[in-house]
Structure 1
Amino acid sequence: MVAKLVVIYSGGMDSFTVLNKAVKDNYEVYALSFDYGQKHHKELVCAKQVCEELKIPHKILDIKSISSLFTSSSLVSGDMDVPDGHYEADNMKSTVVPNRNMILISLAIGYAVDIEAEGVWYGAHSGDHLIYPDCRPEFVEVMDQASKMANFEPVYVHAPYLKTDKIGILKDGLKMSLDYSNTWTCYKGLEKACGTCGSCVERLEAFEANNCSDSIAYIT
């Protein structure tokens, strides 16, 4: 019997790699995306298309109403601009959506219990640890423990690339011959990727480190 997995799939390159890894590892994959009012809504368009191509069951859950709780985050607040720069800069802290992963993982766990899936995978990686507390190994461990206690059906929580940075994720994806042209990383919600926000900078660094070019269009 093939094991079922719920993969939290944003439409970005990290979760895209996680999704394909689960497929290639012969899991029965159910993709779950979230519309939480993010400016970079284009990632959901990419997610939908990829799942259609892979013939993977895909749900996009509309939770936009929670964006009213996150006025401190530039990813959802209409009163704040998404900053430019590298993730190591202090101004990148404005891109934190408070408690986002705990909320999304909790919903994914509920979905996993409902469809009798054994686990939930998501795309946290080591490059996230400095700025996003809900991507740290300690958080994943605690969420895994809580998930197994919260239901009579134990569902594990796993981040396959938790000890790998985006360079390593892309390297693994390239080994799987993945096409990253239908992924979206930019936070600014523009038609083309800005090339200057922290997310774009990190993505471009990953492609450069892997000696290849990114196939998506950039403004700069």
Structure 2
Amino acid sequence: MAEKVVVIYSGGMDSFTVLNRARKDGKEVFALSFNYGQRHVKELECASTVCNELAINHKVIDISAINQLLAGSSLTDDIDIPEGHYEADSMKSTVVPNRNMILLSLAVAYAVSVGADQVYYGAHSGDHAIYPDCRPEFVEKMNDVCKIANYESVEIFSPYLSVDKTAILADGIAMGLDYSNTWTCYNGRDKACGKCGACEERLQAFEENDVTDPITYE
């Protein structure tokens, strides 16, 4: 019988690769997506489409009520999305206070309830500059806590923690993945903007892998 794992699945290209990495590892995947009051639900729609196509157990949990506690982020408030690279100081406005600690805690609770030993989480090195809750020290400490927070020990597993989006995409290409059902842009318009930090990093990853991004841009 395959080992059960919970995958935090936003619908973006990183978590899409993580989802398929778990499947490639022979795991029985329980995908978990969150509506936490983000600006748009395009990623969640992509996540649902993929899970339906792959017949993966998928829950989309509405925790948008917590939005009133997470003020000050351009991803959840009426604040303009900054343009430019993730290294730019302006990208700090996209930090959602304590988001990943909240999501990981819920994912671990779900893991305990379904008998899963791991939570797969898509943090990577490209996020380290701006997002404290994607850095190795955060993942390490959360892992320590989650191993003792319940009678059942749950491991936080971040397969791409030490590599960037280019390497993540390379692994996805090697697995033969189709990225047309992923959404990365911070804006929720019909087409990706191509200018926000998320788009710039995605486009750079495709360019460095000599592959054309299958989604359309403005």
Gap runs ≥5 in structure 2: none
Kept in 2, the 8 Å contact 1:102–1:134? The answer is yes
Q: Deviations over 1:122-177 (max 9, x none)?
A: 10000011100000111111111100110001111011000110000000000000
Residue 199 (structure 1) shift: 0.2
Residue 81 (structure 1) shift: 0.9
Q: Which residue of 1 aligns with 2:102?
A: 103
SS in 2 for 1:127: helix
Residue 71 (structure 1) shift: 2.0
Q: Which residue of 2 aligns with 1:201?
A: 200
**1:35-46 map, 5 Å:** 35-46=35-46
Q: Which residue of 2 aligns with 1:21?
A: 21
Q: Which residue of 2 aligns with 1:62?
A: 62
User: What is the alpha-carbon distance in structure 2 between the residues aligned to residue 183 and residue 2 of structure 1?
Assistant: 26
Letter in 2 for 1:212: V
Q: Deviations over 1:162-207 (max 9, x none)?
A: 0110000000000000000000000011111000000000000000
Q: Which residue of 2 aligns with 1:213?
A: 212
**1:47-86 map, 5 Å:** 47-78=47-78, 80-86=79-85
Q: Which residue of 2 aligns with 1:6?
A: 6
User: What is the alpha-carbon distance in structure 2 between the residues aligned to residue 40 and residue 177 of structure 1?
Assistant: 28
User: What is the alpha-carbon distance in structure 1 between the residues aligned to residue 90 and residue 65 of structure 2?
Assistant: 26
Q: Deviations over 1:8-31 (max 9, x none)?
A: 000000000000000111100000
Q: Which residue of 2 aligns with 1:164?
A: 163
Kept in 2, the 8 Å contact 1:40–1:186? The answer is no
TM-score by length of 2: 0.99
SS in 1 for 2:14: helix
User: What is the alpha-carbon distance in structure 2 between the residues aligned to residue 42 and residue 183 of structure 1?
Assistant: 9
SS in 1 for 2:106: helix
Task: Report how many residues are paired.
Answer: 218
- State the identity as a percent: 65
Moved over 4 A (4+): none
Range moving further from structure 2, 99-108 or 36-45? 36-45
Gap runs ≥5 in structure 1: none
Kept in 2, the 8 Å contact 1:43–1:184? The answer is yes
User: What is the alpha-carbon distance in structure 1 between the residues aligned to residue 56 and residue 187 of structure 2?
Assistant: 28
SS in 2 for 1:88: coil
User: What is the alpha-carbon distance in structure 2 between the residues aligned to residue 50 and residue 133 of structure 1?
Assistant: 29
Q: Which residue of 1 aligns with 2:147?
A: 148
SS in 2 for 1:211: coil
Residue 68 (structure 1) shift: 1.2
TM-align CA RMSD: 0.6
Q: Which residue of 1 aligns with 2:181?
A: 182
